[in-house]
């Protein structure tokens, strides 16, 4: 996940002039965004929040020794 974040930040920081949408977006682009974004947004948020494989803790670490 951090590798992807670094790559995205590198692209943003470079200011390469790459544009995904027209300004203002065309009717086709707006229709695409209205259709796709509600499906992508929760999945992207989950991937950023939890990563590709959520970390787990071994049960032996959780046992309290007195």
pTM of the full structure: 0.49
Does residue 12 belong to any structural domain of this protein?
no
Q: What is the pLDDT of residue 50?
A: 81
Check if the beta carbon of residue 34 is closer than 8 Å to that of residue 27: no
Q: What is the pLDDT of residues 9-47, one digit of tens each?
A: 887 777 766 677 778 889 999 999 999 999 999 998 888
Q: Which domain holds residue 28?
A: 21-53
C-alpha gyration radius of the chain: 20
Does residue 38 belong to any structural domain of this protein?
yes
Tokens describing residue 15: 């200011």
Domain count, the chain: 1
Q: What is the pLDDT of residue 28?
A: 93
Q: How far is CA 45 from CA 30, 36, 37, 41, in A?
A: 21, 14, 12, 6
């Amino acid at each position: 996940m951090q590798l992807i974040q670094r790559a995205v930040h590198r692209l943003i920081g470079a200011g390469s002039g790459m544009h995904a949408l027209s300004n203002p977006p065309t009717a086709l682009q707006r229709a695409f965004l209205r259709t796709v974004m509600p499906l992508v947004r929760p999945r992207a948020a989950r991937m950023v929040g939890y990563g590709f494989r959520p970390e787990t803790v071994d049960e032996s670490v959780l046992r309290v020794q007195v």
